[in-house]
């Protein structure tokens, strides 16, 4: 819950500081209107992932490789958010995101930048699906491990009897 909220607040904070031409409430409602699925999807998926990790830890059962999982989820969240920000260009003429997009060719080259901008919406959804997929995988893994843990417990009970 806390992790999801932090993710949500960070996203919305970036929206506010990059659209100074709009009152904060207007900027936020516009961002939610344009990218609502990404914003709330990421927040819920991240919240769920952290919750699963916490559950797994408290039950002494590691669901997935922690380091790899953290890197994977963080990168996907960052990329999904980054590409979804491209949709915010129409929030203001000469805006921050237009400037940021115009800097892309110096990092990725012109051709790749054109592709990244053209397919930014699709890329942001792909990022979201990766995060959701990873969280779902963690949930399935946790369930499977809990089941395995339950069997020896049951066997123990039988042997005591």
Partner 1 sequence: MRIEILLFIIILAGTLLPLGSNAILMAEEKHIIPLEQIVSGGPPPDGIPSIDSPKFISANDGDKFLADSDKVVGININGDIRAYPLQILVWHEIVNDNVGGIPVAITYCPLCFTNKVFGRTVNNTILEFGTSGKLYNSNLVMSDRLSKSLWSQALGEGIVGKYAGIKLQRLPFDVAYWKDWKDLYPQSKVLSKDTGSARPYGVDPYGDYYTSPDILFPISNRDNRLGLKEVVIGLEDERLYKAYKLQDIEKLKVINDQFNNNSVALFSLHPIMARVFDSSVNGQTLIFQYSPTNNKFTDKQTGSQWDFEGKSVEGPLKGKHLMRLPFDEGYWFEWVAFHPTTKLYS
Which spans of this chain sit near partner 1 (rule: CB under 8 A)? Answer: 17-23, 26, 30, 33-34, 86-87, 89-107, 110, 113-114, 117-118, 120-121
Q: Could you list the beta-strand ranges (E) of the chain.
A: none
Tell me how far, at minimum, the Cβ of 156 lies from partner 1, in Å.
Answer: 52
Q: Which is nearer to partner 1, 55 or 116 (CB)?
A: 116
Go through 56-65 and write b for each residue having 16 or more CB atoms within 10 A of its CB, e for each that does not.
Answer: beeeeeebbe
Tell me how far, at minimum, the Cβ of 148 lies from partner 1, in Å.
Answer: 42
Pair 76, 130: CB distance under 8 Å: yes
Tell me how far, at minimum, the Cβ of 10 lies from partner 1, in Å.
Answer: 14
Q: HSE on the CB side for 80, CA within 13 Å?
A: 28
Q: Which is nearer to partner 1, 35 or 135 (CB)?
A: 35
Q: Which is nearer to partner 1, 72 or 92 (CB)?
A: 92
Tell me how far, at minimum, the Cβ of 46 lies from partner 1, in Å.
Answer: 22
Q: Which is nearer to partner 1, 77 or 138 (CB)?
A: 77
User: What angle do helix axes 66-85 and 2-18 make, rounded to 10 degrees?
Assistant: 30
Pair 127, 35: CB distance under 8 Å: no
């Amino acid at each position: 819950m806390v992790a999801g909220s932090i993710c949500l607040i960070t996203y919305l904070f970036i929206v506010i500081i990059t659209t100074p031409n709009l009152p904060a409430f207007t900027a936020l409602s516009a961002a939610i209107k344009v990218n609502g699925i990404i914003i709330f999807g990421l927040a819920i998926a991240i919240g769920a992932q952290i919750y699963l990790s916490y559950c797994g830890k408290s039950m002494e059962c590691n669901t997935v490789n922690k380091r790899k999982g953290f890197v994977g989820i963080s990168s996907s969240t960052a990329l999904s958010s980054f590409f979804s920000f491209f949709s915010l260009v129409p929030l203001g003429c000469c805006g921050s995101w237009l400037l940021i997009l115009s800097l892309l060719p110096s990092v990725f080259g012109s051709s790749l930048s054109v592709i990244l901008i053209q397919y930014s919406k699709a890329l942001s959804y792909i990022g979201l699906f990766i995060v959701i997929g990873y969280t779902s995988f963690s949930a399935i893994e946790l369930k499977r491990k809990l089941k395995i843990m339950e069997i020896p417990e049951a066997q123990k009970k039988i042997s005591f009897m």
